[in-house]
């Protein structure tokens, strides 16, 4: 009995020591992997930021000193390239992009919000089920596959070479994903809040704007920023549906500017910087809302 009692704790102690040793080795492995991941992350950051750094510093150079020390900023920076870009109707192209982006995003977000509320709160009617299925099918249709029918419809509507020709298709292609994100967000709102609004005598229209709209603000900001980036960067619609230089947007103007001033590389890089600045502002302002809104509703 004495031998059994003295030998009983020994396996437990040895087991605890083994667990501690294995835990220490696992922690060391994870620490080693974190160091490797951190170094790889910094290397990837340098790889991504190096071209951006080169574009920015090269846009302040002249044609004569452009090839001197490519990665070193110019000792005598100049804004001549930016003046040349601005004098080439940059303000007009920028205004066209703003008009097309705002004109497409605002109606798309409003229509998508009301459609998402109807899908979530409208019950299980056949019309709403079919509408939801149509919205989901819209995600599977790429713009390139229907660009010819869009072109023919725009011609029939006599909207060719106008800003409306770019706004209407952009609204149509922004609605499906917006409805998906907003419907999942509204579905997470507790039903008790809707029931309390109904007991207080509020109509569905009042519930939409007084309850669902304030609570869905993160998702609304998400779809607004996401769609604004997509419309701003759209190149195919302006290329196919416009012809005159006065109707160009920023991506098409950048492509045309590169063809005209291809020899003047600092001017081309200056146009790239001016075109990219609004995109960076959009992303910096709504980065957190964009990520949180896209993942909202998918955690259940």
Sign of torsion over alpha carbons 126, 132, 134, 140: negative
Q: What confidence tens digit (pLDDT) does each residue in 176-204 have?
A: 989 988 988 888 888 888 888 888 888 88
Q: Is 76 exposed, middle or buried (0-12, 13-18, 19+ CB in 10 A)?
A: exposed
Q: Is pLDDT above 70 for 7? A: no
Mean pLDDT of 268-282: 84
More confident residue, 165 or 276: 165
More confident residue, 277 or 126: 277
Return the pLDDT at 29: 56
Mean pLDDT of 254-272: 81
Confidence of residue 290 (pLDDT cuts 50, 70, 90): low
Return the pLDDT at 171: 94
Task: Output the pTM of the full model.
Answer: 0.77
Q: Which of 265-294 are b and which e, b meaning 16 or more Cβ less than 10 Å from the residue's Cβ?
A: bbbbbbbbbbbbebeeebeeebeebbeebb
- Residue entry with tokens 């704790």: 9
- Return the structure tokens found at 277: 């600045």
- Residue entry with tokens 């110019």: 74
Return the pLDDT at 31: 53
Which of 148, 152, 116 is closest to 135 using CA atoms? 116
Q: Is pLDDT above 60 for 8? A: no
**165-179, 216-230, 247-261, 272-286: which has the highest mean pLDDT?**
165-179
Return the pLDDT at 21: 52
Sign of torsion over alpha carbons 124, 127, 133, 138: negative
Mean pLDDT of 259-268: 78
Q: Is pLDDT above 90 for 173? A: yes
Distance between CA atoms of 98 and 251, rounded to whole angstroms? 12
Sign of torsion over alpha carbons 112, 114, 116, 118: negative
Q: Is pLDDT above 80 for 33? A: no
Number of H helices, E strands in the chain: 14, 0
Q: Is pLDDT above 60 for 15? A: no
Return the pLDDT at 155: 94
Backbone angles phi, psi at 157, to 5 degrees: -85, -5
- On whether the CB atoms of residues 122 and 131 are closer than 8 A, the answer is no
Which of 94, 174, 190 is closest to 139 using CA atoms? 174
pLDDT above 70 covers what percent of the chain? 82
Lowest mean pLDDT among 27-41, 143-157, 216-230: 27-41
Q: Which of 2-12 are b and which e, b meaning 16 or more Cβ less than 10 Å from the residue's Cβ?
A: eeeeeeeeeee
Provide the angle, in degrees to the nearest 10, between the axes of the packed helices 265-295 and 9-59. 140
- Return the structure tokens found at 292: 């949180």
Sign of torsion over alpha carbons 210, 211, 214, 216: negative
Confidence of residue 6 (pLDDT cuts 50, 70, 90): very low
Q: Is 256 exposed, middle or buried (0-12, 13-18, 19+ CB in 10 A)?
A: middle
Q: What confidence tens digit (pLDDT) does each residue in 58-88 have?
A: 889 888 887 777 778 888 888 888 888 888 8
- What three-state secondary structure class fits 277? helix
CA 196 to chain centroid, in Å, comes to 35
- Residue entry with tokens 């080693």: 32
Q: Is pLDDT above 90 for 18? A: no
pLDDT above 90 covers what percent of the chain? 23
Q: CA-based angle 261:265:267, to the nearest 5? A: 65
Q: Is pLDDT above 80 for 105? A: yes
Confidence of residue 162 (pLDDT cuts 50, 70, 90): very high
């Amino acid at each position: 009995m004495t031998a059994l009692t003295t030998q009983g704790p020994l396996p437990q102690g040895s087991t605890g020591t083994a667990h501690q040793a294995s835990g220490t080795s696992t922690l060391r492995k994870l620490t080693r992997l974190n160091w490797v991941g951190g170094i790889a992350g910094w290397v990837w950051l340098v790889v991504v930021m190096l071209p951006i750094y080169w574009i920015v510093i090269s846009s302040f150079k002249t044609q004569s000193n452009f090839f001197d020390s490519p990665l070193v900023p110019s000792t005598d920076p100049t804004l001549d390239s930016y003046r040349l870009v601005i004098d080439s109707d940059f303000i007009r192209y920028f205004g066209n992009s703003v008009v097309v982006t705002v004109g497409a995003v605002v109606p798309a977000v409003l229509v998508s919000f009301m459609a998402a509320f109807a899908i979530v709160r409208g019950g299980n009617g056949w019309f709403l089920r079919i509408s939801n299925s149509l919205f989901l099918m819209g995600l599977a249709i790429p713009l390139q596959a229907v660009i010819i029918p869009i072109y023919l419809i725009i011609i029939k509507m006599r909207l060719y070479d106008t800003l409306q020709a770019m706004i209407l298709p952009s609204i149509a292609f922004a609605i499906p994903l917006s409805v998906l994100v907003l419907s999942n967000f509204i579905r997470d709102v507790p039903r008790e809040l809707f029931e309390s609004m109904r007991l207080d005598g509020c109509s569905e229209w009042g519930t939409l704007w007084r309850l669902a709209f304030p609570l869905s603000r993160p998702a609304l900001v998400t779809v607004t920023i996401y769609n604004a980036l997509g419309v701003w960067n759209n190149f195919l619609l302006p290329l196919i549906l416009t012809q005159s230089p006065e109707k160009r947007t920023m991506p098409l103007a950048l492509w045309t500017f590169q063809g005209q001033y291809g020899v003047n590389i600092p001017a081309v890089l200056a146009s790239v910087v001016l075109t990219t600045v609004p995109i960076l502002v959009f992303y910096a302002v709504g980065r957190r809302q964009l990520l949180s809104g896209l993942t909202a509703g998918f955690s259940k």
